[in-house]
């Protein structure tokens, strides 16, 4: 619905950055209820997006991320008011229910032609029924006039219903306003349903936390906890802040953050995030991020921003309604005046009635309500699936892409090195090789060394290691359990004149070559394994109409090509610097491709920003990349890219079904109304009925399985 208090709707929505918890999921400002529109500027109103107002200096309110947002004069937003869209205070169904009872009673009295139900009594009866549901609309129409935003839905409804009263069609005037109000209540229910999945995310922040300080347990607000504090998380409690587990292991329910139902077991030293729920044993977490810097707080900020960023279809409808409404009013006026000059038996009352019917039919609420609701439903469905979109506009872009470019490490692969193969030299015991190499590698902090130690496990524990020398760019040398051991790359063996088989140089993966007592003893390959759903991702994207799938990696080209071949990727390039990745992406963009880039590392941030839609892996991804991205996949599962595409297509389909439904029905009934073949009752269906059908269609997105 047009907002009678603002002529800068687009600018306000585009600058919406701080939105309160109770307003996340509220409709955009064009869709205010009459009571909201009727409130003066600067007042906190139901369903109202608070962006775009000037607020008094010095006033503030803490938003979901703990940051200073805004506060309207004289109204503290932190007070916990419920800003649900719709009527405030009393039961919202009370006045419509009373109005309906009076309308039905009046129709019965008219039908039985009761003697006393005439003249002023009849007018008063229907007048009360009308005012019970219509006074807020009338108020909104009047208050919209000074701002210059005259041609809105409230004015159309007011003219049509008051006109019906002026010509004595009292029941029809009441019915139009009553059904309009009922439509608003249905809209409220639909909006609240669309909010639920996002509200579930917003409400997972802990409100208190147990902090261990000076041997005491203190229960504090999470905002008061400092970096380096240790917090205690009991079974069943939510983790309040990001940190590392210092007392464990512990099992955590991460469904609220990732959408995955399977619990995750964390070992000591592993990262634990705010919003996770401790399931079994008492856990202690060393805090590494303040309240406003947790990943959860940043996720909530992303969800808030998504409310204010409009898709192209929404922007079109907003602009369309601003042009469409005055044209309709002008046509209604002409429908009254022109027949006077061309019709022989012109009756003013007849043509006024037709014009009023025309006005009711023409209300664009089916479009202005259901389209943003459809997009919001798409955002909600995506968040339920662990996909965060920073704006409904990206639903349109995701649907349009034909090229997906992906990073390798951490995106398509697990981002964790693991031993893939152990190949001992002839006559060398594999267990002995692993024991000696593993013990030596415990003295290194290199990621490959850590992978070897993890693979060897307890076999390397307690083995005496001495005289260790780390040779930069080569590997390690030392005495292990009384034997001289070399472990590193082939350059290390060459340096110490140890011969090795030629086929070792043909191994593509990262390799740890070993020598024991001056003789070649074998090698271990270490690689980053593809994610379980990586091959499925490529297969689903191709089936979904993506014509080009590319992998760009900083890893050496031989490894990149092997992974690409294994996953069935069309094109792959390895050994790239960040600027090389950007160059490739720019080439695809220059060729006219609509492109999504998926990455997780800091080096991916520039390319994520360059793409038509940038997608970040939110679990392991760097803060810089997540901040830059348009879409964040919380589960780190690349297959969610295809899921996001399916949600985008479903949203687009529903939105355009609503547009065509509204246009076709309104066009037919407008023609009938202009010809005198449609009454106010048909007008009610063309307006409120179509709006309700469109709303019901829009909420289907919440029920769809993706």
CATH of the domain at 517: 3.40.1110.10
Range of the domain at 234: 226-289
159, 105: one domain: yes
pLDDT digits (tens, 9 = 90+) for 579-591: 788 889 999 999 9
Looking at residue 25, its pLDDT comes to 34
Beta-carbon count within 10 A of 442 CB: 18
For residue 90, the Cα-to-chain-centroid distance in whole angstroms is 33
For residue 595, the Cα-to-chain-centroid distance in whole angstroms is 20
Contact indicator for 163, 18 with CB cutoff of 8 Å: no
Percent of the chain at pLDDT > 90 equals 29
457, 352: one domain: no
Q: Which helix (H) or strand (E) holds 519?
A: strand 519-530
Looking at residue 639, its pLDDT comes to 93
Contact indicator for 583, 550 with CB cutoff of 8 Å: no
Q: How many angstroms separate the CA atoms of 543 and 539, rounded? A: 6
- Asked whether residue 406 is domain-assigned, the answer is yes
- Asked whether residue 147 is domain-assigned, the answer is yes
Q: How many angstroms separate the CA atoms of 66 and 177, rounded? A: 42
Closest to 644 (Cα-Cα) out of 414, 317, 390: 390
Contact indicator for 627, 582 with CB cutoff of 8 Å: no
401, 495: one domain: no
Looking at residue 71, its pLDDT comes to 32
Exposure on the CB side of residue 77, measured as CA atoms within 13 A: 28
Closest to 299 (Cα-Cα) out of 259, 261, 265: 259
Q: How many angstroms separate the CA atoms of 457 and 492, rounded? A: 25
Average pLDDT over the chain reads 77
Closest to 644 (Cα-Cα) out of 634, 655, 657: 634
Q: How many angstroms separate the CA atoms of 618 and 641, rounded? A: 13
Locate 569 and state its tokens: 């990727």
Percent of the chain at pLDDT > 70 equals 74
Q: How many angstroms separate the CA atoms of 553 and 322, rounded? A: 49
361, 315: one domain: yes
241, 371: one domain: no
Q: How far is CA 367 from CA 31, 658, 684, in A?
A: 10, 7, 15
pLDDT digits (tens, 9 = 90+) for 188-232: 665 555 455 445 545 556 778 999 998 888 999 888 999 999 999
- Asked whether residue 15 is domain-assigned, the answer is no
Which one of 629, 645, 661 terminates a domain? 645
Q: Buried (b) or exposed (e) across 257-282, using 16+ Cβ within 10 A?
A: bbbbeebeebeeeeebbbbbbbeeee
- Asked whether residue 211 is domain-assigned, the answer is no
Of residues 422 and 41, which shows the higher confidence score? 422
546, 499: one domain: no
Looking at residue 369, its pLDDT comes to 65
**What DSSP letter does each residue of 612-665 carry, written as one string?**
SEEEEETTTS-HHHHHH-SEEETT--TTHHHHHHHHHHHHHHHHHHHHHHHHHH
396, 537: one domain: yes
Beta-carbon count within 10 A of 119 CB: 8
Q: Which helix (H) or strand (E) holds 514?
A: strand 510-516
Beta strands in 248-342 (DSSP E): 250-253, 264-266, 271-272, 277-278, 283-287
Looking at residue 183, its pLDDT comes to 64
- Asked whether residue 67 is domain-assigned, the answer is no
Contact indicator for 474, 491 with CB cutoff of 8 Å: yes
- Among 350-359, 414-423, 491-500, name the most confident range: 491-500
Q: Can you name the residues that pair with 573 across neighbouring β-strands? A: 552
122, 149: one domain: yes
- pLDDT interval class at 302 (50, 70, 90): low
Locate 363 and state its tokens: 């209300």
138, 157: one domain: yes
Lowest mean per-residue pLDDT among 23-37, 497-511, 639-653: 23-37
Lowest mean per-residue pLDDT among 154-158, 424-428, 590-594, 661-665: 154-158
Of 407, 533, 600, 630, which residue is the catalytic one? 407
Q: How many angstroms separate the CA atoms of 326 and 150, rounded? A: 9
Sheet holding 548-552, edge to edge: 387-389, 631-633, 613-617, 595-599, 403-407, 548-552, 571-573
320, 446: one domain: no
* CATH number of residue 394's parent domain: 3.40.50.1000
Q: How many angstroms separate the CA atoms of 225 and 220, rounded? A: 7
- Asked whether residue 17 is domain-assigned, the answer is no
Q: How far is CA 379 from CA 369, 385, 465, 629, in A?
A: 16, 10, 56, 16
The sign of the torsion formed by the CA atoms of 310, 313, 314, 317 equals: positive
Whether the predicted pLDDT of 77 surpasses 50: no
pLDDT digits (tens, 9 = 90+) for 528-574: 788 889 999 999 999 999 999 999 987 778 888 989 999 999 999 98
For residue 62, the Cα-to-chain-centroid distance in whole angstroms is 21
107, 146: one domain: yes
Helix (H, G, I), strand (E, B) or coil at 698: helix
Looking at residue 257, its pLDDT comes to 58
243, 271: one domain: yes
Q: How many angstroms separate the CA atoms of 97 and 91, rounded? A: 10
Which one of 603, 629, 645 terminates a domain? 645
Which one of 484, 511, 529 terminates a domain? 529
Residue 407 annotated in active site: yes
Helix (H, G, I), strand (E, B) or coil at 567: helix
Query: Measured over all CA atoms, what is the biggest interatomic distance in the chain, rounded to whole angstroms?
Result: 119
Number of domains in the chain: 5
Looking at residue 664, its pLDDT comes to 87
Q: Which helix (H) or strand (E) holds 247?
A: strand 243-247
End-to-end, the C-alpha distance of the chain in Å comes to 31
- Asked whether residue 21 is domain-assigned, the answer is no
Of residues 486 and 413, which shows the higher confidence score? 486
- Asked whether residue 156 is domain-assigned, the answer is yes
């Amino acid at each position: 619905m047009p907002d009678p208090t603002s002529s800068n709707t687009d600018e306000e929505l585009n600058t919406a950055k701080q939105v309160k918890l109770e307003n996340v999921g509220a409709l955009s400002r064009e869709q205010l209820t009459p009571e909201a529109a009727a409130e003066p500027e600067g007042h906190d109103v139901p369903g109202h997006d608070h962006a775009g107002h000037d607020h008094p200096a010095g006033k503030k309110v803490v938003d979901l991320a703990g940051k200073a947002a805004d506060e309207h004069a004289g109204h503290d937003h932190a007070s916990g008011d419920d800003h649900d869209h719709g009527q405030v205070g009393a039961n919202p169904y009370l006045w419509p229910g009373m109005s309906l009872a009076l309308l039905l009673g009046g129709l019965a009295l008219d039908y039985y032609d009761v003697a006393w139900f005439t003249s002023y009594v009849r007018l008063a009866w229907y007048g009360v029924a009308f005012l019970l549901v219509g006074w807020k609309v009338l108020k909104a129409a009047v208050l919209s006039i000074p701002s210059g935003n005259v041609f809105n839905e409230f004015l159309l409804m007011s003219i049509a219903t008051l006109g019906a009263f002026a010509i004595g069609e009292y029941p029809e005037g009441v019915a139009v306003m009553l059904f309009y109000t009922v439509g608003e209540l249905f809209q409220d229910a639909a909006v609240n349903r669309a909010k639920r999945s996002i509200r579930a995310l917003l409400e997972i922040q802990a409100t208190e936390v147990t902090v261990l300080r000076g041997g005491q347990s203190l229960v504090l607000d999470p905002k008061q906890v400092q970096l380096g504090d240790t917090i205690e998380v009991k079974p069943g409690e939510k983790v309040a802040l990001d940190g590392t587990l210092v007392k464990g292991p512990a099992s955590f329910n991460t469904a609220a953050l990732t959408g995955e139902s399977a619990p995750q077991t964390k070992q000591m030293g592993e990262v634990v995030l705010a919003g996770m729920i401790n399931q079994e044993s008492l856990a202690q977490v060393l805090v590494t991020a303040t309240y406003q810097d947790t990943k959860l707080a940043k996720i909530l900020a992303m969800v808030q921003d998504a409310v204010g960023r409009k898709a192209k279809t929404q922007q079109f409808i907003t602009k369309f309604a601003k042009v469409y409404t005055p044209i309709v009013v002008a046509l209604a006026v002409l429908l009254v005046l022109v027949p006077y000059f061309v019709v022989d038996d012109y009756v003013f009352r007849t043509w006024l009635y037709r014009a009023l019917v025309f006005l009711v039919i023409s209300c664009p609420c089916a479009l202005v309500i259901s389209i943003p609701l459809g997009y919001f439903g798409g955002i909600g469905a995506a968040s339920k699936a662990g996909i965060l979109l920073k704006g409904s506009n990206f639903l349109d872009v995701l649907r349009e892409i034909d090229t997906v470019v992906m990073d390798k490490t951490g995106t398509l692969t697990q981002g964790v090195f693991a031993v893939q193969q152990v190949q001992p030299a002839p006559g060398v015991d594999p267990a002995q090789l692993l024991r000696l190499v593993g013990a030596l590698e415990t003295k290194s902090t290199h990621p490959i060394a850590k992978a070897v130690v993890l693979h060897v496990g307890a076999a390397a524990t307690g083995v005496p290691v001495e005289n260790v020398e780390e040779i930069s760019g080569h590997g390690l040398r030392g005495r292990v359990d009384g034997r001289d051991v070399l472990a590193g790359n082939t350059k290390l063996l060459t340096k110490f004149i140890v011969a090795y088989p030629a086929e070792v140089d043909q191994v593509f993966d990262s390799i740890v070559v070993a020598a024991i007592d001056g003789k070649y003893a074998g090698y271990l390959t270490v690689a980053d394994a593809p994610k379980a759903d990586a091959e499925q991702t490529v297969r689903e994207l191709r089936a979904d109409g993506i014509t080009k799938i590319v992998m760009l990696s900083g890893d050496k080209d031989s490894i990149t090509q092997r992974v690409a071949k294994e996953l069935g990727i069309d094109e792959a390039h390895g050994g790239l610097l960040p600027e090389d990745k950007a160059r490739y992406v720019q080439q695809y963009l220059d060729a006219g491709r609509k492109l999504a880039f998926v990455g997780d590392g800091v080096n991916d941030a520039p390319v994520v920003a360059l793409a038509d839609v940038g997608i970040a892996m939110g679990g392991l991804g760097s803060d810089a990349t997540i901040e830059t991205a348009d879409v964040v996949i919380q589960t780190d599962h690349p297959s969610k890219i295809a899921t996001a595409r399916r949600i985008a297509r479903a949203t687009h389909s529903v939105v355009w079904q609503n547009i065509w439904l509204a246009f076709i029905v309104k066009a037919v009934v407008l023609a009938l109304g202009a010809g005198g073949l449609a009454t106010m009752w048909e007008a009610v269906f063309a307006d409120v009925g179509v709006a309700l059908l469109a709303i019901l269609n829009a909420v289907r997105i919440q029920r769809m399985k993706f």
